Amino acid sequence: MSPVILFSAGAERFEVYAEPLRDALRAAGVSPRVVTEAAPEEVDYIVVAPGSGITDFGPYTRCKAVLSLWAGVERMVGNPTLTQPLCRMVDTALEAGMVEYVTGHVLRHHLGMDRFINRPLTGWEAGVPPLASERPVAMLGLGALGRACARALTELGFPVLGWSRSPRDVAGIACHHGAEGLAEVLGRAQIVVTLLPLTPQTENLIDAAALARVPQGAVLINPGRGALIDDDALLAALERGHIGHATLDVFRTEPLPEDHPYRTHPHVTVTPHIAAATRPETASRVIAENVRRGEAGEPFLHLVDRDRGY
Ligand code: NAP
C-alpha cells in the first residue's frame, strides 16, 4: 500500500507545491499519495508549516515523521503531542537567499552606501571606506545558514568571527563558542549578524550587556528571529549612537505593528521577513529524500534535537 503524505501547510502552498513535490517524489523513487485531508491513523508523513492547522499530533499514530517546510521550528518543538521525529528544512535555495540577503546588507553598511543613495552629493570629499579585510564581521550561529553566509563573507575578504553553542571548526573562520567566546566575538565585530534559532538559551541574547560589548557605531543585522533581541535595549543603544544601524528582518510580532518605533527610526531598516524563503522545487527534493529514507528504514535528514530545541 502506498504511504500517505498529509500536506498540512496551507491550501495556497499546496497549489505551488503539488507539482514539484510529485516530481521530486517520483525522482526519489517513491510513490506515496499526497493528500490535504486524511484520517489521522492513515497518515505516514506530515508536511507542515507554522500555523498550518495541526496542533494535536497525538492521533497520527502511524506517522513516521513530521517534515517542516521552515528552517526555524521554535513554534513546534515544544508541542508535547508532537512525539514523532521532527525534521526541519535545510534547503539549498534557502541558503542561497540568506547568503544574498546577508552579503547585500553587510556590503551596504560596509561601503556606507546610504551616504550616496537618494541624497544629492554636496562637495566632493566623502572618505574612502576601508577594505573588507579591515572590517571584522561576527556571525552568531554557525549552522547551515550561518556557515554559508560566513563562507561568502570570507570570500569577499571580511574577517569572520563565528560563534556557536558547541566548538566548531570552519575553514577560514575564527570559531568561538560559549559565554567567553561571545564576549570575544562581540568585542571585535564592526558588523554583527545573528543567525541563531530561537530557544530559551538564545532569547534576548542581544541584550544591553551584549550591545555594550560591541565597538561604538557597530551595525546589527538580524535575519534569525526577533526575540533574539531585547528590543528596548537595542532602541536605547541606537538612541545613544552606540549601535550605528540595525537591519532587522524578523520580529517578536509579525507583521511588525504599524506604531512600532522600529518602523520610523532613522537608523533602523525593517524588511518584512523576506531574508530567505523555502522554494518549492528544492524543498520538495528534501521532503522526498526524507520520505524515501523513511520508507527504506534509513535515518532522516535534518532531525530536530528536542533537548537542544533546534
Ligand atoms: P542550524 O543549522 O540549526 O544552526 C543553528 C546554529 O546556532 C548552530 O551553529 C548552533 O550551534 C547555534 N546555536 C544554537 N543555540 C545556541 C546557543 N545557545 N549559543 C550559541 N550558539 C547556538 O540553523 P540554520 O539553518 O542555520 O538557521 C538559523 C536560523 O535562521 C533558524 O533557526 C531561523 O530562526 C532563521 N531563519 C530565518 C529566515 C528568514 O527568512 N529570516 C529563513 C530561514 C531561517 P551548534 O553549531 O553548536 O549546534
For the stretch 188-212, pLDDT in tens is 999 999 999 999 999 999 999 999 9
How much is the average pLDDT of 90-119?
A: 96
Per-residue pLDDT of 151-162, as tens digits, reads 999 999 999 999
Residue 118, pLDDT > 90, answer no
Walk me through the domains of the chain, giving residue ranges and CATH numbers: 4-91+278-296 (3.40.50.720), 92-270 (3.40.50.720)
User: Residues enclosing ligand 1, CB less than 6 A?
Assistant: 71-72, 90, 94, 141-146, 164-166, 168, 195-199, 201-202, 223-225, 249-250, 273, 275-276, 310
How much is the average pLDDT of 288-299?
A: 98
Atom of ligand 1 nearest to the CA of 199: 15
Residue 16 to residues 5, 20, 279, 293, Cα–Cα distance (Å): 16, 8, 10, 24
Whether 273 is catalytic:
yes
Atom of ligand 1 nearest to the CA of 90: 25
How much is the average pLDDT of 129-147?
A: 98
Pick the catalytic residue from 225, 245, 285, 293.
Answer: 225
Write down the pTM of the prediction.
0.97
Per-residue pLDDT band at 53 (split at 50, 70, 90)? confident
Instruction: Compute the distance from residue 28 Cα to the ligand 1 centre, in Å.
Output: 28
Residue 52, pLDDT > 80, answer no
Whether 225 is catalytic:
yes
Mean residue pLDDT across the chain: 97
Residue 61, pLDDT > 90, answer yes
End-to-end alpha carbon distance in the chain? 33
Atom of ligand 1 nearest to the CA of 147: 26
